Amino acid sequence: MKSPFSFSLGLSLLLALASGCAASYQPIEPATVPFDRFQDDLGGGRAAIAWRYNVLKEAGNRYHARKEQQHGVSLLALRFTNNGQGALLFPEDVWIIAGADTLEPLTIQQVDEALRRTTAEDEPGVVEVDAGPLMALGSGLFKVNKQVRDNLRLARNLDTHYLQGRQVAPGSALTGLLGLPVAPGTGLKFELKKTEQSRADTLPPPVVNVPSGMITGLNGREILKMERISDDSGKEGIVVLDVCVDSNGRVNAAQFSAKGSTTLDQHLINLALENIRKWEFSKSAKEKECGRITYRFVSP
Protein backbone atom coordinates (compact mmCIF):
# COMPACT_ATOMS: atom_id res chain seq x y z
CA MET A 1 0.00 0.00 0.00
CA LYS A 2 1.40 3.38 -0.98
CA SER A 3 2.09 5.91 1.72
CA PRO A 4 0.48 9.42 1.74
CA PHE A 5 3.91 10.78 0.86
CA SER A 6 4.06 8.71 -2.33
CA PHE A 7 0.58 9.89 -3.38
CA SER A 8 1.48 13.55 -2.81
CA LEU A 9 4.70 13.15 -4.75
CA GLY A 10 2.83 11.63 -7.69
CA LEU A 11 0.31 14.48 -7.69
CA SER A 12 3.11 17.04 -7.55
CA LEU A 13 4.80 15.43 -10.54
CA LEU A 14 1.49 15.53 -12.43
CA LEU A 15 1.10 19.25 -11.79
CA ALA A 16 4.68 19.85 -12.84
CA LEU A 17 4.11 18.02 -16.11
CA ALA A 18 0.92 19.99 -16.74
CA SER A 19 2.66 23.31 -16.25
CA GLY A 20 5.42 22.25 -18.64
CA CYS A 21 3.07 21.67 -21.59
CA ALA A 22 2.93 23.97 -24.57
CA ALA A 23 0.67 27.01 -24.36
CA SER A 24 -3.05 26.71 -25.04
CA TYR A 25 -4.76 28.19 -28.09
CA GLN A 26 -4.34 31.96 -28.16
CA PRO A 27 -7.22 33.89 -29.80
CA ILE A 28 -6.37 36.05 -32.81
CA GLU A 29 -7.56 39.67 -32.78
CA PRO A 30 -7.61 40.70 -36.47
CA ALA A 31 -7.90 44.42 -35.65
CA THR A 32 -4.43 44.34 -34.06
CA VAL A 33 -2.70 42.44 -36.88
CA PRO A 34 -0.09 44.44 -38.87
CA PHE A 35 -1.16 43.72 -42.46
CA ASP A 36 1.68 43.24 -44.92
CA ARG A 37 -0.10 42.68 -48.26
CA PHE A 38 -2.34 45.27 -49.91
CA GLN A 39 -4.51 45.81 -52.99
CA ASP A 40 -6.42 49.08 -53.39
CA ASP A 41 -7.67 48.85 -56.98
CA LEU A 42 -10.72 46.59 -56.68
CA GLY A 43 -13.43 47.84 -59.05
CA GLY A 44 -11.30 50.78 -60.11
CA GLY A 45 -10.65 51.87 -56.54
CA ARG A 46 -14.16 51.23 -55.23
CA ALA A 47 -12.79 48.77 -52.69
CA ALA A 48 -9.48 47.97 -51.03
CA ILE A 49 -8.16 44.95 -49.19
CA ALA A 50 -5.26 44.15 -46.86
CA TRP A 51 -4.28 40.74 -45.52
CA ARG A 52 -1.67 38.73 -43.69
CA TYR A 53 -0.74 35.05 -43.64
CA ASN A 54 0.70 32.98 -40.74
CA VAL A 55 -1.46 34.62 -38.07
CA LEU A 56 -1.89 31.29 -36.25
CA LYS A 57 1.86 30.79 -35.93
CA GLU A 58 2.49 34.41 -34.96
CA ALA A 59 -0.12 34.16 -32.20
CA GLY A 60 1.75 31.17 -30.75
CA ASN A 61 -0.61 28.49 -32.08
CA ARG A 62 2.05 26.30 -33.66
CA TYR A 63 -0.03 23.11 -33.49
CA HIS A 64 -2.82 24.71 -35.52
CA ALA A 65 -0.28 26.28 -37.90
CA ARG A 66 1.01 22.76 -38.64
CA LYS A 67 -2.58 21.78 -39.42
CA GLU A 68 -2.59 24.48 -42.12
CA GLN A 69 0.37 22.78 -43.80
CA GLN A 70 -1.13 19.29 -43.43
CA HIS A 71 -4.47 20.23 -45.01
CA GLY A 72 -3.23 22.79 -47.54
CA VAL A 73 -5.30 25.62 -46.11
CA SER A 74 -4.53 29.06 -44.72
CA LEU A 75 -6.23 31.23 -42.12
CA LEU A 76 -5.73 34.89 -42.99
CA ALA A 77 -6.37 38.09 -41.09
CA LEU A 78 -8.00 40.48 -43.52
CA ARG A 79 -9.41 44.01 -43.80
CA PHE A 80 -11.91 44.88 -46.55
CA THR A 81 -12.81 48.53 -47.21
CA ASN A 82 -15.82 49.60 -49.27
CA ASN A 83 -15.07 52.94 -50.96
CA GLY A 84 -18.07 52.76 -53.31
CA GLN A 85 -21.64 54.04 -53.19
CA GLY A 86 -23.44 50.72 -52.68
CA ALA A 87 -23.33 48.07 -49.97
CA LEU A 88 -21.28 44.93 -50.61
CA LEU A 89 -21.16 41.43 -49.19
CA PHE A 90 -17.80 40.01 -48.23
CA PRO A 91 -16.50 37.65 -49.47
CA GLU A 92 -19.51 36.86 -51.71
CA ASP A 93 -19.03 39.95 -53.93
CA VAL A 94 -15.30 39.36 -54.45
CA TRP A 95 -13.39 37.02 -56.75
CA ILE A 96 -10.30 35.59 -55.02
CA ILE A 97 -7.69 34.45 -57.52
CA ALA A 98 -4.46 32.45 -57.05
CA GLY A 99 -2.55 32.05 -60.31
CA ALA A 100 -4.98 30.58 -62.84
CA ASP A 101 -7.41 29.37 -60.16
CA THR A 102 -10.44 31.13 -58.71
CA LEU A 103 -10.73 30.18 -55.05
CA GLU A 104 -13.87 29.39 -53.09
CA PRO A 105 -13.44 30.63 -49.49
CA LEU A 106 -13.77 27.92 -46.87
CA THR A 107 -16.85 27.92 -44.66
CA ILE A 108 -16.39 28.46 -40.95
CA GLN A 109 -17.19 24.78 -40.41
CA GLN A 110 -14.51 23.66 -42.90
CA VAL A 111 -11.88 25.82 -41.20
CA ASP A 112 -12.83 24.53 -37.77
CA GLU A 113 -12.61 20.91 -38.93
CA ALA A 114 -9.25 21.45 -40.64
CA LEU A 115 -7.54 23.24 -37.74
CA ARG A 116 -8.99 21.61 -34.64
CA ARG A 117 -7.10 19.10 -32.51
CA THR A 118 -8.08 15.60 -33.60
CA THR A 119 -5.87 13.63 -31.19
CA ALA A 120 -4.25 14.20 -27.82
CA GLU A 121 -0.86 13.91 -29.45
CA ASP A 122 2.21 15.29 -27.71
CA GLU A 123 3.70 18.68 -28.41
CA PRO A 124 7.20 20.05 -27.84
CA GLY A 125 7.65 20.55 -24.12
CA VAL A 126 5.55 17.58 -23.03
CA VAL A 127 7.64 15.06 -21.13
CA GLU A 128 6.59 11.43 -20.77
CA VAL A 129 7.38 9.94 -17.36
CA ASP A 130 6.51 6.43 -16.19
CA ALA A 131 5.30 7.20 -12.68
CA GLY A 132 2.74 4.46 -12.13
CA PRO A 133 -1.03 4.24 -12.60
CA LEU A 134 -1.80 7.66 -11.09
CA MET A 135 0.56 9.49 -13.42
CA ALA A 136 -0.53 7.56 -16.51
CA LEU A 137 -4.20 8.33 -15.87
CA GLY A 138 -3.64 11.93 -14.83
CA SER A 139 -1.41 12.81 -17.79
CA GLY A 140 -3.90 11.31 -20.23
CA LEU A 141 -6.79 13.24 -18.74
CA PHE A 142 -4.80 16.45 -18.91
CA LYS A 143 -4.10 15.97 -22.62
CA VAL A 144 -7.72 15.20 -23.43
CA ASN A 145 -8.97 18.20 -21.44
CA LYS A 146 -6.44 20.42 -23.19
CA GLN A 147 -7.61 19.12 -26.56
CA VAL A 148 -11.27 19.89 -25.81
CA ARG A 149 -10.46 23.31 -24.35
CA ASP A 150 -8.33 24.35 -27.32
CA ASN A 151 -10.99 23.25 -29.80
CA LEU A 152 -13.56 25.36 -27.95
CA ARG A 153 -11.26 28.39 -27.98
CA LEU A 154 -10.64 27.96 -31.71
CA ALA A 155 -14.38 27.66 -32.42
CA ARG A 156 -15.15 30.78 -30.37
CA ASN A 157 -12.40 32.74 -32.11
CA LEU A 158 -13.79 31.79 -35.52
CA ASP A 159 -17.37 32.45 -34.43
CA THR A 160 -16.42 35.98 -33.35
CA HIS A 161 -14.26 37.04 -36.29
CA TYR A 162 -14.95 34.84 -39.33
CA LEU A 163 -15.81 36.78 -42.49
CA GLN A 164 -18.71 35.10 -44.25
CA GLY A 165 -21.86 36.79 -45.51
CA ARG A 166 -20.87 40.11 -43.94
CA GLN A 167 -22.50 43.29 -45.24
CA VAL A 168 -20.10 46.21 -45.70
CA ALA A 169 -21.76 49.62 -45.94
CA PRO A 170 -20.37 52.36 -48.22
CA GLY A 171 -17.43 54.14 -46.62
CA SER A 172 -16.86 51.46 -43.98
CA ALA A 173 -14.31 48.71 -43.38
CA LEU A 174 -14.55 45.17 -42.09
CA THR A 175 -11.77 43.28 -40.31
CA GLY A 176 -11.73 39.56 -39.53
CA LEU A 177 -10.50 36.07 -40.40
CA LEU A 178 -10.91 34.10 -43.61
CA GLY A 179 -9.87 30.58 -44.59
CA LEU A 180 -8.66 29.75 -48.11
CA PRO A 181 -7.70 26.42 -49.76
CA VAL A 182 -4.09 27.47 -50.43
CA ALA A 183 -0.74 27.09 -48.69
CA PRO A 184 0.44 30.00 -46.52
CA GLY A 185 2.22 32.65 -48.58
CA THR A 186 0.39 31.96 -51.86
CA GLY A 187 0.08 35.05 -54.05
CA LEU A 188 -3.48 36.36 -54.25
CA LYS A 189 -5.43 38.81 -56.41
CA PHE A 190 -8.88 40.18 -55.60
CA GLU A 191 -11.55 41.48 -58.00
CA LEU A 192 -15.06 42.82 -57.42
CA LYS A 193 -17.94 40.81 -58.86
CA LYS A 194 -20.20 43.84 -58.44
CA THR A 195 -19.19 47.50 -58.44
CA GLU A 196 -21.75 50.23 -57.79
CA GLN A 197 -24.80 47.95 -57.51
CA SER A 198 -26.44 48.43 -54.15
CA ARG A 199 -27.66 45.40 -52.25
CA ALA A 200 -30.46 47.34 -50.56
CA ASP A 201 -33.10 45.32 -52.43
CA THR A 202 -31.64 41.91 -51.65
CA LEU A 203 -30.16 42.34 -48.18
CA PRO A 204 -32.00 44.90 -46.01
CA PRO A 205 -30.41 46.55 -42.96
CA PRO A 206 -30.42 44.24 -39.93
CA VAL A 207 -33.47 44.45 -37.66
CA VAL A 208 -33.31 43.24 -34.07
CA ASN A 209 -34.48 39.64 -33.72
CA VAL A 210 -36.36 39.60 -37.03
CA PRO A 211 -35.46 37.12 -39.78
CA SER A 212 -34.44 39.03 -42.88
CA GLY A 213 -32.27 38.65 -45.92
CA MET A 214 -32.32 36.61 -49.09
CA ILE A 215 -34.98 34.01 -49.81
CA THR A 216 -33.89 32.04 -52.85
CA GLY A 217 -35.00 28.98 -54.79
CA LEU A 218 -38.70 28.92 -53.81
CA ASN A 219 -39.91 29.98 -57.26
CA GLY A 220 -41.33 33.31 -56.09
CA ARG A 221 -43.63 31.87 -53.43
CA GLU A 222 -45.33 34.59 -51.41
CA ILE A 223 -44.84 34.58 -47.63
CA LEU A 224 -48.26 34.50 -45.96
CA LYS A 225 -47.11 34.15 -42.36
CA MET A 226 -43.78 34.93 -40.68
CA GLU A 227 -43.55 35.10 -36.88
CA ARG A 228 -41.23 37.44 -35.02
CA ILE A 229 -38.41 35.92 -32.99
CA SER A 230 -38.09 37.02 -29.37
CA ASP A 231 -34.55 36.56 -28.03
CA ASP A 232 -32.58 38.54 -25.45
CA SER A 233 -29.35 36.53 -25.53
CA GLY A 234 -27.44 39.37 -27.23
CA LYS A 235 -25.88 36.91 -29.68
CA GLU A 236 -25.29 37.96 -33.27
CA GLY A 237 -24.71 36.20 -36.57
CA ILE A 238 -26.15 34.95 -39.83
CA VAL A 239 -27.87 31.55 -39.88
CA VAL A 240 -28.70 30.03 -43.26
CA LEU A 241 -31.31 27.27 -43.55
CA ASP A 242 -32.04 24.95 -46.47
CA VAL A 243 -35.82 24.51 -46.50
CA CYS A 244 -38.47 22.66 -48.49
CA VAL A 245 -42.11 23.73 -48.81
CA ASP A 246 -45.00 21.45 -49.79
CA SER A 247 -47.86 22.23 -52.19
CA ASN A 248 -49.96 23.66 -49.34
CA GLY A 249 -47.26 26.18 -48.41
CA ARG A 250 -46.09 24.40 -45.26
CA VAL A 251 -42.40 23.93 -44.43
CA ASN A 252 -41.85 20.17 -44.30
CA ALA A 253 -38.04 20.09 -44.11
CA ALA A 254 -35.39 22.43 -42.74
CA GLN A 255 -31.73 22.04 -41.90
CA PHE A 256 -28.77 24.27 -41.05
CA SER A 257 -26.35 25.15 -43.85
CA ALA A 258 -22.78 26.14 -43.05
CA LYS A 259 -22.48 27.79 -46.47
CA GLY A 260 -23.32 31.44 -45.96
CA SER A 261 -23.69 31.15 -42.19
CA THR A 262 -21.34 33.19 -40.02
CA THR A 263 -21.98 31.39 -36.74
CA LEU A 264 -22.06 27.87 -35.36
CA ASP A 265 -23.88 29.00 -32.22
CA GLN A 266 -26.41 26.27 -31.45
CA HIS A 267 -28.76 28.68 -29.68
CA LEU A 268 -29.21 30.83 -32.80
CA ILE A 269 -29.45 27.78 -35.05
CA ASN A 270 -32.20 26.29 -32.88
CA LEU A 271 -34.10 29.60 -32.86
CA ALA A 272 -34.06 29.69 -36.65
CA LEU A 273 -35.09 26.03 -37.01
CA GLU A 274 -37.99 26.47 -34.58
CA ASN A 275 -39.13 29.70 -36.22
CA ILE A 276 -39.09 28.50 -39.83
CA ARG A 277 -41.60 25.75 -39.00
CA LYS A 278 -44.13 28.52 -38.24
CA TRP A 279 -43.82 30.15 -41.66
CA GLU A 280 -46.52 29.73 -44.30
CA PHE A 281 -46.12 30.26 -48.04
CA SER A 282 -48.55 30.54 -50.93
CA LYS A 283 -49.83 27.28 -52.40
CA SER A 284 -48.38 25.73 -55.53
CA ALA A 285 -49.16 22.90 -57.94
CA LYS A 286 -45.71 21.51 -57.27
CA GLU A 287 -45.52 18.85 -54.58
CA LYS A 288 -42.27 20.22 -53.18
CA GLU A 289 -40.06 23.25 -53.75
CA CYS A 290 -36.78 23.84 -51.95
CA GLY A 291 -34.69 26.92 -51.34
CA ARG A 292 -32.63 28.85 -48.84
CA ILE A 293 -33.62 31.35 -46.14
CA THR A 294 -31.20 33.64 -44.31
CA TYR A 295 -31.74 34.77 -40.72
CA ARG A 296 -29.75 37.78 -39.50
CA PHE A 297 -29.53 38.17 -35.71
CA VAL A 298 -28.29 41.45 -34.20
CA SER A 299 -28.22 42.84 -30.67
CA PRO A 300 -30.53 45.69 -29.64
Residue 280 is assigned to a structural domain of this protein: yes
**Shared-domain flag, residues 177 and 222:** no
* pTM > 0.75: no
Same-domain check for residues 226 and 162: no
Check which CATH number belongs to the domain holding 226 and give it.
3.30.2420.10
Give 30-43 as a 3 state SS string: HHHCCCCEEEEEEC
Co-location of 261 and 166 in the same domain: no
Secondary structure of residue 293 in the 3-state scheme: strand
Q: In the prediction, which pLDDT does 129 show? A: 34
The answer to whether residue 90 sits within a structural domain is yes
Residues 171 and 249 in one domain: no
Q: Identify the pLDDT of residue 144.
A: 52
Would residue 35 count as lying in a domain? yes
Q: Is residue 9 one of the residues assigned to a domain?
A: no
Query: CB-side exposure of 257: number of CA atoms within 13 Å?
Result: 15
Answer yes or no: is 83 within a domain. Answer: yes
* Final residue in a domain of this structure, among 159, 192, 225: 192
Q: Does the structure show a pLDDT above 60 at 34?
A: yes
Same domain (yes/no): 141, 87:
yes
Looking at the structure, tell me whether residues 240 and 187 fall in a common domain. Answer: no
Report if residue 95 sits inside a domain.
yes
Q: Give Cα separations from 186 to 72, 74, 94, 105 (angstroms).
A: 11, 9, 18, 14
Q: Are residues 113 and 33 in the same domain?
A: yes
In a domain, residue 127? The reply is: yes
Q: Tens digit of pLDDT for each residue in 185-220?
A: 999 999 998 644 444 434 443 433 334 444 445 666
What is the β-pairing status of strands 47-52 and 74-82?
A: antiparallel
Number of domains observed in the structure of the chain: 2
157-191 pLDDT, tens digit each: 998 899 988 888 889 999 999 999 999 999 999 99
In-domain check, residue 1: no
Q: Are residues 167 and 256 in the same domain?
A: no
For residues 135 and 239, state if they share a domain.
no
Identify the domain containing residue 248 by its residue range. 215-297
**Which pLDDT belongs to residue 98?**
93
pLDDT of residue 219: 64
Please check whether residues 147 and 238 belong to one and the same domain: no
